[in-house]
Structure 1
Amino acid sequence: MKTIFTEDHRLQDGKAELIDGKLMPCFEMPRRAEILIARVRDQKLGEVLAPEKFGADPVLRVHKPEFVRFLETAWDEWVAQHGSYDALPLNWIAPGMRRLLPETIDGKLSYFSFDAGTPITAGTWRAAIASAEVAMTGMKLVKGGERGAFSLCRPPGHHAGSDFYGGYCFFNNAAIAAQGFRDGGAARVAILDVDYHHGNGSQEIFYKRDDVMTISIHADPKQEFPFFLGHADERGEGRGEGFHLNLPLRWGAAWAEYGHALDTAMRRLTEFSPDVIVVSLGVDTFEKDPISKFKLKHEDYLRIGEAIAAAGKPTLFIMEGGYAVEELGINAVNVLQGFEAKI
């Protein structure tokens, strides 16, 4: 399996995030990608390729222009107002407030973000564009006939919506790739999200569409971030009704519960019969993940890969979360090896 990777991921290197009431070093750090690519090479998974250049055009297929412009200019606006330290929002819109775009950078950060865990830095724009290019290069490989490919995206993407960022995510790499497949001729695309946290951005982007199905197995939003999306009764709207499946699990879920949810997900995916699958590959379901509360073990990730391969569809894996950094490579590559063992 070919892997797409860029050193430009290092340009997103936030110093702190607000979590558990404290400013702490960012869990989403450059070392995540370094551990992953080292494991890919150590296991001889396949050729490692640099991404092609696509620029912002594919991003604009799923993200609103004013949001993209904001991310392109946010750092310069922040520095002009505050100085060269990481930009985090001050407040958020509450019910009864009006969502009108402010003129100042502090207001814009609050308007476009939904958390204080996703710092904008000097390198955020370039890293986010590069991550989208990694996803699009993987899309192009699979569209060209590869049975599977691994887009080692960083920063991750599945929390980013059409005009908002958060959850360490700026551009929704999985959605960008899915739209790329559609633009390239695929009639139906399925996004299967196996990250611990709900792929709220992916759902929001495609919620009224029936050509891209989103399926997410994740921690119950009654207990866990991002809290306000991912409930089982969210099934789509308009033409999209019935084309979105959420499978929330309670804290402490181990393979018995997770495996059952994965079986349900794969049955629905098979019924949908997509031309291609995009997997939002988060491995923060691991029992030792520092910010998550599932109990999956190393061997369970092989099973996930095997289950995805059983669908018999061309598959693009897009890297999302996973914060037990030293064991991140083992778990992510186990999914890919499990997939390859069954194709």
Structure 2
Amino acid sequence: MKVVHSPLHARHDGGKELHRGELVPCFEMPVRADYILKAVTRAGFEVLEPRSFPQESLLRVHDAGFVEFLRTAHAEWQALGKQGFMLPSGFPARGLRRDHIPSGINGRMGYYAFDASTPIVEGTWEAALAAAHCALTAAALVSEGEKSAYALCRPPGHHAGHSLYGGYCFLNNAALAAQHLRDRGFARVALLDVDYHHGNGTQDIFWERSDVLFVSIHATPETEYPYFLGYADERGAGAGEGYTLNLPLPRGTVWKEYSAALNTAMDAIGSFSPDALVVSLGVDTYEGDPISAFKLAQEHYPQMGQRLAGLKVPTVFVQEGGYAVDEIGTNVAGVLEGFLHKR
């Protein structure tokens, strides 16, 4: 399995986030990717830099105005004489207008963001674009005949929707990979999200489509981020009705319970008969994760990989969350090695 990674991820660094009511240093930090890179290199995976793709590739899943905002936001911020990181201070919540995009940078920041946990810094666009190219490259490798590939993306992407960012995510890397596979002739693509947090952005992008099945195993939004999506009764709409499956689980979930949900997810994907699979690979389900509350142990990640291999379809892994930095590389490598039956 080839690994796609860009050192440009480190350009997204600094700032603070609002976490459960407190302004704190960001949990999503460059060292996450560094630890993963060390682990997959130690495990013997070949590491490639991403190819370049035209901006039109991004517009296959994202709104053009949104992409332009991300590309220019920090430069516009600096032009106002501001320094450091950007966080929004207002959002178009209930009773406020959502049909008009403000012209000022502060208003547009709140229009496109859905939280204050995702700072934009000077290098954010460069890093986010590189992460998107990592995912697109991994999908391209699979479309060209590789049985699997892993995109070591940072920043992550599954909270980024068609025209919104948040949850540390700016461009939806997994959705871009799935769309690239569709554009290269894979008629049916399944996208399985195993991150602790619901992939609200991915659900948004594919909500009305039947060609991409979205399945998510995550912590219940009753108590966990992103709070306002990820309930079991969300099943898609229009042509996409029945092509979204959410499997929310309570805080404290252990492997036995998680494994049962994974069985349900695998059955749904098997019934869909996909031509390819994209996995949003978050390992913040680990028992030591500082911002999550599932109880998976290191031994469970190779088992997860083995189960995913049982689908026997071309597979693209795309990195999402995981904030127990010391263990993140071991857990990611465990999934990939389990998938390849090396553990």
> 2:273 — aligned with what?
273
Quick check: 1:138–1:150 contact (8 Å CA) kept in 2?
yes
> 2:145 — aligned with what?
145
Deviation, 1:78, is 1.1
What is the correspondence of 1:243-322 to structure 2 with a 5 Å cutoff? 243-322=243-322
1:134 aligns with 2:134: yes
Any idea what the Cα deviations from partners look like across 1:208-247, whole Å, max 9, x if unmatched?
A: 0000010000000111000111100101101101111000
- Separation in 2 of the partners of 1:52 and 1:152? 14
> 1:228 — aligned with what?
228
Deviation, 1:18, is 1.1
Any idea what the Cα deviations from partners look like across 1:12-36, whole Å, max 9, x if unmatched?
A: 1132111132221110000000000
Aligned residue identity for 2:116 = A
> 1:28 — aligned with what?
28
Quick check: 1:306–1:342 contact (8 Å CA) kept in 2?
no
> 1:41 — aligned with what?
41
Could you say what the CA RMSD is over the residues aligned between the two structures, in angstroms?
1.1
1:174 aligns with 2:174: yes
Any idea what the Cα deviations from partners look like across 1:119-164, whole Å, max 9, x if unmatched?
A: 0010011111110000010001111111111100000000000000
Aligned residue identity for 1:186 = F
Quick check: 1:200–1:229 contact (8 Å CA) kept in 2?
yes
Cα 1:246–1:342, aligned 2, differ >3 Å: closer, same or farther?
Answer: farther
Q: TM-score, normalised by structure 2?
A: 0.98
- Separation in 1 of the partners of 2:15 and 2:109? 17
> 1:59 — aligned with what?
58
- Aligned to 1:61, the other structure's residue is in SS state coil
Any idea what the Cα deviations from partners look like across 1:256-311, whole Å, max 9, x if unmatched?
A: 11000000000000000110000000000000000000000001111110110000
Deviation, 1:82, is 4.7
> 1:84 — aligned with what?
83
1:121 aligns with 2:121: yes
Quick check: 1:55–1:129 contact (8 Å CA) kept in 2?
no
Deviation, 1:57, is 1.9
Quick check: 1:197–1:224 contact (8 Å CA) kept in 2?
yes
- Separation in 2 of the partners of 1:178 and 1:55? 17
Q: TM-score, normalised by structure 1?
A: 0.98
Aligned residue identity for 1:98 = R
Question: 108-117 or 78-87, which moves further after superposition?
Answer: 78-87
Quick check: 1:196–1:217 contact (8 Å CA) kept in 2?
yes
Aligned residue identity for 1:202 = T
Give ranges in structure 1 of 5+ residues lacking alignment. Answer: none
Give ranges in structure 2 of 5+ residues lacking alignment. Answer: none
The total of aligned residue pairs comes to 342
Any idea what the Cα deviations from partners look like across 1:175-211, whole Å, max 9, x if unmatched?
A: 0010101111110001000000000000000000000
- Separation in 1 of the partners of 2:102 and 2:238? 31
1:105 aligns with 2:109: no
